[in-house]
A and B are shown apart, each in its own frame.
Chain A
Amino acid sequence: RKEVEQDPGPFNVPEGATVAFNCTYSNSASQSFFWYRQDCRKEPKLLMSVYSSGNEDGRFTAQLNRASQYISLLIRDSKLSDSATYLCVVNPDDSWGKLQFGAGTQVVVTP
């Protein structure tokens, strides 16, 4: 079983709509969680951290469910520029050493 699993998509989303997707992780002791965004042929960049209480950054909302070992990302009012691959990232021991990466969920926002 992979340490971090994501639906690869693609999620085809009309502009202005809402899209949400999850990621599951296998290590129940994992400490911190993140969503990274990766544009085509570019490096991953931190989108947002994920906290137990849930957190929002503009149109993006992230949630963590420790009991079921999944994190989610919701994008409201999708923009064409949101088209990207979203990587779920788990930091198992909070040390910023070895991270565990999901393979990514592709989102395509269409006009």
Chain B
Amino acid sequence: DVKVTQSSRYLVKRTGEKVFLECVQDMDHENMFWYRQDPGLGLRLIYFSYDVKMKEKGDIPEGYSVSREKKERFSLILESASTNQTSMYLCASSSQLEGYTFGSGTRLTVV
């Protein structure tokens, strides 16, 4: 089975901190994604990557950046955390053959 692992399940950070969310997949998938999920808004795409060192902005990239130095790892960076970035963050990877698989999510609270 494809496994997508997110480094933290729950995280509490202070306003202004730099926050790193890590995601690792073990099935050699080309595509990786970062979403945030908020009640009533569903999943919104922050950034995605179709290849190593490649990144594309999603629908809500402001306040975030990403890094994909290796195929299996896609990191989401909150440059200066703010309270409106409190959310559930979901990483996913996909391939043409196997479709989409999500990580178990990181619930981030910014205080």
Interface residues of A (CB under 8 A from B): 4, 8, 41-46, 87, 95-99, 101-104
Query: Contacts A43-B105, A96-B100 given; 12 further ones with Cβ under 8 A?
Result: A42-B104, A42-B105, A43-B103, A44-B43, A44-B90, A96-B95, A96-B96, A97-B94, A98-B48, A98-B58, A101-B35, A103-B41
Give the secondary structure class of B's interface: strand
Residues from chain A with a CB closer than 8 A to the CB of B103 are 43
> Which chain A residue shows the least CB distance to B48?
A98
**Is there contact, CB below 8 Å, between A99 and B58?**
no
Q: Tell me whether A43 and B42 are in contact (CB under 8 A).
A: no
A101-B42 contact in complex given A43-B104, A96-B94, A96-B99, C-beta closer than 8 Å: yes
B31 at the interface (CB under 8 A from A): yes
Partner of A97, one of B40, B50, B90, B105: B50
Q: Which residue of B lies closest to A96 (CB)?
A: B94
How many residue-residue contacts, CB under 8 A, span A and B? 44
Among A87, A96, A99, A103, find the residue whose CB has the most chain B CB atoms closer than 10 A. Answer: A96
Contact B42 A104 (CB under 8 A): yes
7 residue pairs bridging A and B, Cβ less than 8 Å apart? A41-B107, A42-B105, A43-B105, A96-B99, A97-B48, A101-B35, A103-B41
Tally chain B residues at the interface, Cβ within 8 Å. 23
Looking at the assembled complex, report how far the CB atom of B104 sits from the nearest CB atom of chain A, in whole angstroms.
Answer: 5
CB neighbours (8 Å) of B95 from chain A are 96
> Is A8 a contact partner of B102 (Cβ separation < 8 A)?
no
Question: What does the 1/0 interface line of B1-40 toward A look like (CB < 8 Å)?
Answer: 0000000000000000000000000000001010100001
Residue B52 at the chain A interface, CB threshold 8 Å: no
Residues of B within 8 Å of A8, CB to CB, are 40
**In the complex, which residues 72-111 of chain B have their Cβ closer than 8 Å to any Cβ of chain A?**
88, 90, 94-96, 99-100, 102-105, 107
